Structure 1
Amino acid sequence: MPEAERPALRRLATARRVAKHRLSRRNIGRRGQLIGLTAALAAAAGTTAVGVSSSATGPAPTSTGLSPSQADALTAARIDRRDLGSRDASRIDLGLAATRKAAADKAAKQRAARLAANATLTERRALALASAKAVAARKAAAKAKALAAAKAAALAKAKAAAAKAKAAPKIVLPTTGYHLTARFDQAGGRWAHNHTGLDFAAPMGTPVRSVMAGEVIQADYEGAYGRQVKVRHADGTVTSYSHMSEFDVSVGDSVSAGSKVGAIGMTGNTTGPHVHFEVLPGGGSPIDPEPWLREHGVNP
């Protein structure tokens, strides 16, 4: 054999010895396990000895040395062990299933509680919204009713005022309970010129009234006329009331037919309580008041 091939052969032989040694150790371990298992099963079956031959270096045994009863016991032990494992696994599965079911039930209860709480909150909100809408509707209805009532009251007031104005006389005599003491254009020593109006004599304090509606353009003390009030009417005619004891109107006041402008008195140039009444068309020279009053519907 060439010298160069010898190291390779030595390495190959060494490798074979190592592999054989490892196989021998593996077989010994397996035989030990088999002997321990057989002994345990035999003890369970009531035996005290197991006939198992082993050899550290010999081949694996071909027989366990068990009697038929021991073999049956071994088989039964194996079946029991398998059934026990199955039961344990079943118990574990049942325990896990129960745990999972309990967790699922708890989660379902929690979810149901949340849904119930949300439903209650939603119901409360709906009730609050409905109540707020009802309150707003009542307020709006009350406001509308109040506005309608105010409008109706204003309309009724306007109608009443119109009816009153319509029913009110368009012209009246300047006072009541009187008698005429002097007429228009009458001459006498009591006046510097002929008389320019009608004198309505009445007790002191008797009301003096505007004969028609108009605007007060004078309310002042006017010399021989004493306290004098003048009223301009819609057609421009001015009526004058003199010798009064008091004023009941001021310049700029609006008066209606029959409105009190003063009271019978004796101010100015007079010999007794009366009102000197004049009619001045357009505010100019006075005319006879008697026909003018008759033309307007009253007879002094």
Structure 2
Amino acid sequence: MSPHHDVPEAERALRRSSGSRRVAKHRLTRRNTVRGAQLVGLTAALAAAAGAGAVGISPASTATATSTSVNPSLESMTAARIERRELGSRDMSRFDLSLETARQNAAQLAAARNAKLAATATLTERRAIALQAAKAASAAKAAAAAKAAAAAKAAAKAAAAAAPKVVLPTTGYHLTARFGQGGGRWAHNHTGLDFAAPIGTPIRSVMAGEVIQADFEGAYGRQVKVRHADGTVTSYSHMSAFTVSVGDTVNAGTQVGAIGVTGNTTGPHVHFEVLPGGGDPIDPEPWLREHGLNP
């Protein structure tokens, strides 16, 4: 026979009820322990996040936490969560600080760039103004130079128009020998007019033309020849010095040399000849009179 057969049914029911209550009480104790540990962990996490030194716990919670034992592994997990949250909070603070610093740096760079652009724009504008002023000044200078050149050209033209077409070869003179005159001083008849004057008296080209000779020419001494527009060549001899060179362009009255005694001469004078087409000399007196001059 089973041992339970001697126990009354009422006692067996009481035992079952007592066992059920013990199991239920054990389960409730475990739930309270777990809940108490979770509540303590959550409270500590909130206190750490808020930066509080101590967290006030309600009497009921304190009593529950005190009256129940905390699982060590759960405490470690809670502490780890709190530490991770603190690290995350610090990392977020550093990130916010870095972000703010980056924004400030970007703002400073933008301000510096804008200032540089403004300075460049100002410099470019100043250079453009200076260039425009320089161009205006250059244009004004060129216009003034052109005006001056035009005025000089007009003055030269007027002077040329007013200048005599033909002049005598020198001034302050007296004639000492004429064309065709014979004598012991020449190898044959005289070929020109001799205008006697003090040494150094200017000798002038009788008409406009080009200098084709300026050299020492034997018995003629220092001699200059000028070819004129109609092909006529005039010659000036016995000079003390030249004042022109071959290739020079002269006007009527331009000095070509000075009275001297070079070559075959008995006194200071200029021996003047006229050679039509550069050929044989002719009498200068009629030629000068034909051009309005009376030597």
TM-score normalized by the length of structure 2: 0.61
Partner amino acid for 2:248?
Answer: D
Give the equivalent residue in structure 2 for 1:34: 28
Aligned residues: 226
Return the alpha-carbon distance in structure 2 between the equivalents of residues 257 and 187 of structure 1: 31
Partner amino acid for 1:276?
Answer: H
Offset of residue 229 of structure 1:
1.0
Return the alpha-carbon distance in structure 2 between the equivalents of residues 172 and 215 of structure 1: 16
Offset of residue 237 of structure 1:
1.1
2:266 matches 1:271: yes
2:180 matches 1:185: yes
2:222 matches 1:230: no
Which sits farther off after the overlay, 162-171 or 204-213? 162-171
| Alignment gaps of 5+ in structure 2 | 1-17, 33-58, 65-87
Partner amino acid for 1:119?
Answer: A
Return the alpha-carbon distance in structure 2 between the equivalents of residues 297 and 128 of structure 1: 76
Give the equivalent residue in structure 2 for 1:257: 252
| Alignment gaps of 5+ in structure 1 | 1-23, 39-75, 82-95
Offset of residue 175 of structure 1:
1.3
Encode CA deviations 1:57-91: one digit per residue, 9 max, x unaligned. xxxxxxxxxxxxxxxxxxx958xx9xxxxxxxxxx
Offset of residue 289 of structure 1:
2.3
Partner amino acid for 2:152?
Answer: A
Distance 1:214 1:27, change over 3 A: farther
Partner amino acid for 1:34?
Answer: L
Partner amino acid for 2:145?
Answer: A
Return the alpha-carbon distance in structure 2 between the equivalents of residues 128 and 277 of structure 1: 76
How large is the RMSD of aligned CA atoms in angstroms?
3.9
Return the alpha-carbon distance in structure 1 between the equivalents of residues 270 and 20 of structure 2: 159
Distance 1:139 1:112, change over 3 A: same
2:109 matches 1:117: yes
Return the alpha-carbon distance in structure 2 between the equivalents of residues 147 and 275 of structure 1: 52
Give the equivalent residue in structure 1 for 2:121: 129
Partner amino acid for 2:155?
Answer: A
Return the alpha-carbon distance in structure 2 between the equivalents of residues 105 and 269 of structure 1: 114
Partner amino acid for 1:134?
Answer: R
Encode CA deviations 1:78-136: one digit per residue, 9 max, x unaligned. 8xx9xxxxxxxxxxxxxx99x98997697467435523530331232232233034225
Secondary structure of the 2:273 match is strand
TM-score normalized by the length of structure 1: 0.60
Whose radius of gyration is greater, 1 or 2?
1
Identity of aligned residues (%): 62
2:275 matches 1:280: yes
Which sits farther off after the overlay, 189-198 or 125-134? 189-198
Partner amino acid for 1:32?
Answer: H
Secondary structure of the 1:245 match is strand
